[in-house]
Chain A
Amino acid sequence: MTPLLQVEDIAKFYGARIGCSDVSFDLYPGEVMGIVGESGSGKSTLLNCLAGHNTPDRGTVRFDTRADGLRDTITMSEPERRMLGRTDWAFVHQHARDGLRMNVSAGGNVGERLMAVNARHYGEIRASAIDWLGRVEISEDRIDDRPTTFSGGMQQRLQIARNLVTGPRLVFMDEPTGGLDVSVQARLLDLLRGLVREMNLSAIIVTHDLAVVRLLADRLMVMKDGRVIETGLTDQVLDDPQHAYTQLLVSSVLQV
């Protein structure tokens, strides 16, 4: 089986400081991988390098494209990479405002990716926008409202709908539940878990919330100071952490 994403020896430096270093892994279709670690451990840097927002200083990222099989996304041309960014890839930002157009209606936000790949039939664009709003539990009568009138949880769900409308195969998520209260988080996680299974999505989820990865991720990567210190199946890593830092991380979770 060909991996969907092949990451080899990625490194990114900010001057003399390490952003992330020596990261390698394979991600297979339908697999969800969690990346956990404390603030400043290089999780977001790594995610941005994988998603093409940052150029790593070393290493290769190969993606299994529909047309040509495995291609190095770092050396491919910018138009190709941006095309991937709005078709086969999706990026869910921590803050919905970074991923949404706040002065465009919810329907326009969802439709943008369709129009970006040359959908030119208003009725069809609107129909799929309505369909997707329904799938993320936003009622149809909110389709012409701007995201500024939405609550934080709704904005985040709208961002997810906007990203998934073109049927991507790989979703990058940067703290998708950050800044939301626990009951809204629970609903969002439930929704994400359903969509991931239903669409057979592969996903890379960066988070510092161990509960999120417990629910969503098949595999886990623990990072500290820009390096991967432990990898394994999620339950295995969380229930039987080997590295001292992972043990600390797991034991730091507050119990209610």
Chain B
Amino acid sequence: MSDYNFAYLDEQTKRMIRRAILKGLAIPGYQVPFASREMPMPYGWGTGGVQVSAAVLTPDDTFKVIDQGADDTTNAVSIRRFFQKTAGVAVTEVTSEASVIQTRHRIPEEVLREDQILVYQVPIPEPLRFLEPSEVETRKMHALEEYGLMHVKLYEDISLHGDIATAYAYPVKVEGRYVMDPSPIPKFDNPKLEMSAIQLFGAGREQRIYAIPPYTQVVSLDFDDYPFRPTKADHACDLCGAGDSYLDELIVDDKGGRMFMCSDTDYCSTRRRHGHVGAKGVPYDEDAA
């Protein structure tokens, strides 16, 4: 056990954050201001997500952290260790075993259940920010449901690139009311936002928390003649052969060689453990790692 209070934050702070979370769940997609604390990591590393995780974790939870789908990147490892040390909770890399999953930039490929919570790290919670710099004005636009401006961004995409080129942080409308930034997840993940698990979004620097309750309607914005299409690399995973997962592209030499692999490392290794092998993969070896 450590000298930290359970999950680092003091109890009053966790209560404050829980109130914001409950309000967020009651008004799906609405950005609830909260008094974000200094965390022992820089802004941009997931201070919002960490505070939300700290507020929802209980000693019985099993915690998983992914960064761009991977369990073994610096950001994921350091946040996982942080809660191992300050909360003493069990940790896992297996999506189905986790009860709280903190994520940056991805939704796990595996379908989440009702007893799971997905916590997103959010850099800029305001979807209208780059079009309307004034916070007073954007809040008014949310309050009065004036979302024409969001389509101006999509219009610009089509006129400049021939198609809706926004590939991540693709704006969505939640339960027919609030337009929301789903954090920088690829638009491939947008259809998964309608899920059975609770989704919580924490933006530490911007001091906002928002949420999508289970089974909430989430619609990606589009035009009648340019409908929303989730996209991924037109390829199958070279390691596990999956054709339905979101892929990372890796340059493997200086002669133009490249390979594609699942960005969700747990999904990929689970498939390989079950005997799936991709074009450049080798059979799964339990001791290889």
A78 to B226 Cα, complex, angstroms: 33
* CB atoms of B225 and A122 under 8 A apart: yes
A143 at the interface (CB under 8 A from B): yes
- Stretch in contact with the other chain, from B147-155, B197-205, B232-240, B271-279: B147-155
User: Is the CB–CB distance between B146 and A111 below 8 Å?
Assistant: no
B143 to chain A, nearest CB (A): 9
Which chain B residues border A56 with CB–CB below 8 Å? none
In whole angstroms, how far apart are the Cα atoms of A248 and B156 in the complex? 51
Mask for B153-189, Cβ within 8 A of A = 1, else 0?
0011011100000000000000000000000000000
A111 to B160, CA, bound (A): 15
CB <8 Å contact, B158 and A104 = no
Q: Is the CB of B151 within 8 A of A120?
A: yes
Report whether B144 and A105 are in contact in the complex, using a CB–CB cutoff of 8 Å: no
Contact of B149 among A105, A116, A118 (CB under 8 A): A116
B36 to chain A, nearest CB (A): 29
Provide the main secondary structure of the chain B interface: helix
Contact across chains for A105 and B148 when beta carbons are under 8 A apart: no
Given contact pairs A101-B131, A112-B149, A115-B148, A107 touches B159 in the complex (Cβ within 8 A): yes
Is A108 touching B159 in the complex (CB atoms < 8 A)? yes
Would you give the 0/1 interface string for A97-109, flagging 1 where the beta carbon is closer than 8 Å to chain B? 0000100110110
Q: How far is the CB of A124 from chain B (nearest CB, A)?
A: 8
Q: Is A144 an interface residue (CB 8 A)?
A: yes
| B155-A115 in contact (CB<8A) | yes
Q: Say whether A82 contacts B146, CB under 8 Å.
A: yes
Is A112 a contact partner of B225 (Cβ separation < 8 A)?
A: no
Counting residue pairs across A and B whose Cβ atoms lie within 8 Å, the total is 54
User: Known contacts being A116-B146, A144-B159, is A104 close to B226, with CB within 8 Å?
Assistant: no
| Cβ-closest chain B residue relative to A111 | B155
Min CB gap B92→A, angstroms: 44
Separation of A117 and B144 alpha carbons in the complex (Å): 13
A140 to B240, alpha carbons, bound, how many Å? 50
Min C-beta distance of A93 to chain B, whole Å: 16
**Those of A113-145 within 8 Å (CB) of chain B:** 113, 115-118, 120-123, 125-126, 143-144
Q: A104-B131, A116-B149 are in contact. Are A126 and B223 (CB under 8 A)?
A: no
Q: Give a binary string over B208-247; 1 marks a CB under 8 Å from any A CB, 0 the rest.
A: 0000000000000001111000000000000000000000
> Beyond A104-B131, A112-B149, A115-B151, is A120–B223 a contact (Cβ under 8 Å)?
yes
Size of interface on B: residues with Cβ below 8 Å to A: 16
Chain A interface secondary structure, helix, strand, loop or mixed? Answer: helix
Q: Is the CB of B152 within 8 A of A112?
A: yes
A104, B225: Cβ atoms under 8 Å? no
> Contact: B131 with A122, CB < 8 Å?
no
Contacts of A123 in B (CB 8 A): 225
- B241 to chain A minimum Cβ distance, whole angstroms, is 37
Q: CB of A15 within 8 A of chain B?
A: no
Q: A121-B223, A143-B159 are in contact. Are A78 and B152 (CB under 8 A)?
A: no
For residue A200, give the distance in angstroms from its CB to the closest CB of chain B. 26
Assess whether A79 is interfacial by the CB under 8 Å rule.
Answer: yes
Residues A126 and B149 in contact, CB atoms below 8 Å apart: no
Cα distance, A107 to B226, chains bound together (Å): 17
Per the bound structure, the CA–CA distance linking A143 and B155 in Å amounts to 12
Provide the residues of chain B in CB contact with A108, threshold 8 Å. 152, 155-156, 159
**Could you say which residues of chain B place their CB within 8 Å of the CB of A107?**
155, 159
Q: How far is the CA of A122 from the CA of B226 in the complex (A)?
A: 7
Closest 9 CB pairs of A and B: A116-B148, A115-B148, A115-B151, A122-B223, A121-B224, A79-B144, A108-B152, A108-B156, A112-B152
* A and B contact pairs by CB, cutoff 8 A, 15 listed: A78-B144, A79-B144, A86-B148, A105-B159, A108-B152, A111-B155, A113-B148, A115-B149, A115-B151, A115-B152, A116-B149, A118-B148, A120-B224, A121-B223, A122-B158
Tell me the A residues contacting B by CB distance below 8 Å: 78-79, 82, 86, 101, 104-105, 107-108, 111-113, 115-118, 120-123, 125-126, 143-144
